[in-house]
Chain A
Amino acid sequence: MLRRLLSATGRWQCQQLLGSNRSQSSPLRIRWKSTDPAEEARKLRSRSTLYYITAGGVLIVGLSYAAVPLYSIFCQAYSYGGTTLQGHDAEKVEHMVKIKDRVLKIRFNADIGSSMRWNFKPQQYEIKVAPGETALAFYTARNPTDKPVIGISTYNVIPFEAGAYFNKIQCFCFEEQQLNPHEEVDMPVFFYIDPEIVQDPALEHCDTITLSYTFFEAKEGLQLNFPSYAKPHTQKVVQS
């Protein structure tokens, strides 16, 4: 302890001597530059701990950013969370059996976006359909303005659980449709209800399914991001 003090004072005197070479106007400052090895080791330890903690924090932030694509890859491979691997089968339509005793009422609803200037309505309020039977329904859209308007639509099926059994063969959604000024067109929807709906216990008392279409105005150069689990269109119909 005494040795330490003596050595410290020795160092201090050394510093003072060195300090006298500087200009006389600045007051002598005593700097306690400790080159004590124990303190050095402690400093090194605390610095390395700080580095470890910082690195751990950066790693966690990086992992949370990487988790987003990794999670979606995992879900697609193992179909968790409602993502489906198989799509609808064209073969299924050929071989499906109509179930006569369970008749479902399909209600049709039409909506437009707030800035959409079309008049859009369903042609029939409801249709009675048996599962396993293909059905045709119509919507009518009219452009009352003097300019051509491009619309794009999306749909919704209520109740949500029934949406898994509602298969559309052909419709008018997800693609841009242009209506010329003062033009009116009929838009068909060709669909069927999967006969497996009768085996679903959650839909045992479901008698009414509502199909709701909403039209939005498509702006020029609009790129819609479809989720990765949405199937692309299998065949594009060639217009005459």
Chain B
Amino acid sequence: MTSQIYSQKKFIPTPPEKGSFPLDHEGLCKKQFLIYSSCLRRNAHDNSQCRVEAQAYLGCRMENNLMEKTEWSKLGFEDKQKEQQ
């Protein structure tokens, strides 16, 4: 058991890069969340199919001051129509 501890890489919890999401107490982005959830269920929980809906949810968060506004490229999304606004 001790030999396993010394050879294994330790797990170190790291705080997230952009900090913590403030809670959506009023449910302002609930609609986008439900759209995203239903998209996931339709596509057998495949993340690649639901990128647009995820982007919509994060956009809603940004608009309602629940998330810091950053460029889409920094979040790993392609610059789509959101960037043009």
Q: Contacts A123-B37, A170-B21, A237-B21; is A230 near B47 (CB within 8 Å)?
A: no
Find out whether the CB atom of A138 lies under 8 angstroms from the CB atom of B16.
no
Find out whether the CB atom of B13 lies under 8 angstroms from the CB atom of A190.
no
Q: Report the separation of the CA atoms of residues A185 and B19 in the bound assembly, to the nearest whole angstrom.
A: 18
Q: Does A229 contact B (CB under 8 A)?
A: yes
B11-35 near A? 1/0 per residue, CB < 8 Å:
1111111111111110101100100
Q: Report the separation of the CA atoms of residues A186 and B22 in the bound assembly, to the nearest whole angstrom.
A: 11
- Tally inter-chain residue pairs, CB-CB below 8 A: 162
Within the complex, the shortest CB–CB distance from A116 to chain B, in Å, comes to: 16
Find out whether the CB atom of A129 lies under 8 angstroms from the CB atom of B47.
yes
Closest to A82 in B: B10
Interface residues in B, total, Cβ within 8 A = 45
Find out whether the CB atom of B75 lies under 8 angstroms from the CB atom of A233.
no
Within the complex, the shortest CB–CB distance from A83 to chain B, in Å, comes to: 8
B28-57 near A? 1/0 per residue, CB < 8 Å:
011001001100110011111000001001
Q: Report the separation of the CA atoms of residues A135 and B13 in the bound assembly, to the nearest whole angstrom.
A: 19
Q: Report the separation of the CA atoms of residues A145 and B5 in the bound assembly, to the nearest whole angstrom.
A: 41
A161-186 near B? 1/0 per residue, CB < 8 Å:
10110011111111101111001011
Q: Report the separation of the CA atoms of residues A229 and B10 in the bound assembly, to the nearest whole angstrom.
A: 13
Q: Does A188 contact B (CB under 8 A)?
A: yes
Within the complex, the shortest CB–CB distance from A156 to chain B, in Å, comes to: 7
Of A13-21, A28-36, A66-74, A90-98, the stretch lying at the interface with chain B is A90-98
Q: Report the separation of the CA atoms of residues A128 and B57 in the bound assembly, to the nearest whole angstrom.
A: 19
> Which residues of B does A touch, CB under 8 Å?
8-25, 27, 29-30, 33, 36-37, 40-41, 44-48, 54, 57-58, 61, 64-68, 73-77
Chain A to chain B: the 4 pairs with minimum beta-carbon distance, closest first: A134-B76, A240-B65, A233-B19, A168-B16
Q: List 8 A-B contacts (CB under 8 A).
A: A83-B12, A87-B14, A88-B14, A88-B17, A128-B48, A156-B11, A160-B10, A234-B18
